[in-house]
Amino acid sequence: MAEALDYTDRPWLDPEAEPFIKVQSVSKHFGDFTAVDSVDLDIYKGELFCLLGGSGCGKSTLLRMLAGFETPSSGTILIDGQNMNDVPPYERPVNMMFQSYALFPHMTVWNNVAYGLRRDKVPKSEIQQRVDEMISMVELDQFAKRKPHQLSGGQKQRVALARALVKQPKVLLLDEPLGALDKRLREQTQYELMNIQEQLGVTFIVVTHDQEEAMTLSTRIAVMDTGRFQQIGTPTEIYEFPNSRVVANFIGNANMFEGRIIENGPDHVIVESNDPKCEFFVDHGMSIQEGTKVWVALRPEKVRISKESPANSSANTIRGMVHDIGYLGGTSTYRVQVDGDHMIEITSPNMMRPRDASPPIDWDEEVYLSWDASSSVVLTK
């Protein structure tokens, strides 16, 4: 008997699921500048969706259009089936957590959190209860009477989150939510955010330029560049199966080789790169003509480094010399010079504890680099 597919964690795969947010060919122009260029996007209920991209890629503009601070130049935005184009920010079922937090400086933490409920004319006793609950959820009970300027960065961030969540929005928009926190606090808060999201089941849309943040947080990521989506997919899809050089370079590190298809079999392709001289045997077929110019992306952690020549070495091997070693404790990063002055980056876990302090592979040593036929990604754009 065929097992019924379970889409609860992956609603975007369910052909019958109705998207909660629909962005339909939305553009935004500022004068001559096109910030968002005719994008389409479906986001499902309960997702933690990341808009990832460098500065000026249009991610913040898209978020601001969802919040209602900017109106699309063309296209429509639907939230829960309702057209949002003419709905002002104060009537939308979304709340936003600002990058600067935008806490009201003249109000206490408690009043900041209560602000939204007061605007909705919620009964006093209910405000009291909901604000208290929310403040204890973000563990700020002792700080309820403080003013924002008396709080640390992490505490301010939690107030901003509580203030946006207390109204129980259908969608929470987060603009660089962890940007202003230091590394340690960021990692901790990241998991807190995920827990809260899971607990409340609110749809989160996060804007970030930090790929690590996007990878850990999200169910799906949209990589944005020059106002368009380059790729939309799960963190694994985007990292392991990037669809373009832009995506491969933006998410994680990649060694990029320019080459040509020299053999196209039904179950494999061979790419020849001239600069550096190297052959790639890739273990899947492609609907592509021989002779086509392609790029091969190779992730640093998918390359093996060894002093001895690997067995059956013809394709997927290259010789070089260690130029640099970055010892990071758990892993080491090697920069290996191959065929002239090309540098290939390799990350390798330090699984063995060396007998003495000298590294197993040293500077200026001859090494062989090799990788599996399934490791390299062939890109056509």
Site string for other proteins, 13-52 (x = CB under 8 A): ----------------------------------------
Least Å distance between CB 39 and other proteins?
22
> 174 phi and psi, to 5 degrees?
-125, 120
Q: In what order do the strands lie in the sheet with 342-349?
A: 304-306, 366-370, 317-327, 331-338, 342-349
Least Å distance between CB 110 and other proteins?
13
Least Å distance between CB 235 and other proteins?
28
**Region 131-160 residues binding other proteins, contact defined as CB under 8 A:** 147, 150
222 close to 194: Cβ distance less than 8 angstroms = no
Nearest to 102 by CA among 205, 48, 176: 176
Q: In what order do the strands lie in the sheet with 74-79?
A: 33-43, 21-30, 74-79, 82-83
Nearer to other proteins, 104 or 241 (CB): 104
Could you identify the residue written with the tokens 């990521």?
Answer: 221
> Of 7, 12, 98, 368, which one interacts with other proteins (CB under 8 A)?
98
- Cα distances (Å, whole numbers) of residue 27 to 82, 113, 245: 19, 34, 24
Helix (H) / strand (E) element for 162: namely helix 153-165
Nearest to 180 by CA among 202, 158, 211: 158
Q: How far apart are CA 201 and CA 203, in angstroms?
A: 6
- Which residues are within 8 A (CB) of 152 and not within 5 positions of it... i.e. 6 or more apart? none
Segment contacting other proteins (CB under 8 A): 111-119, 131-139, 214-222, 293-301? 111-119
Least Å distance between CB 69 and other proteins?
6
> Of 25, 76, 82, 100, which one interacts with other proteins (CB under 8 A)?
100
Nearer to other proteins, 118 or 293 (CB): 118
> 226 phi and psi, to 5 degrees?
40, 50
298 close to 371: Cβ distance less than 8 angstroms = yes
Segment contacting other proteins (CB under 8 A): 93-101, 261-269, 275-283, 337-345? 93-101
> 316 phi and psi, to 5 degrees?
55, 30
**By the rule CB under 8 A, 124 interacts with other proteins:** no
Least Å distance between CB 292 and other proteins?
49
Nearer to other proteins, 78 or 107 (CB): 107
Least Å distance between CB 80 and other proteins?
17
Site string for other proteins, 52-91 (x = CB under 8 A): ---------------xxx------------------xxxx
Residues forming the site for other proteins (CB under 8 A):
67-69, 88-91, 94-96, 98, 100, 102-106, 115-116, 119-120, 147, 150, 163-164, 167
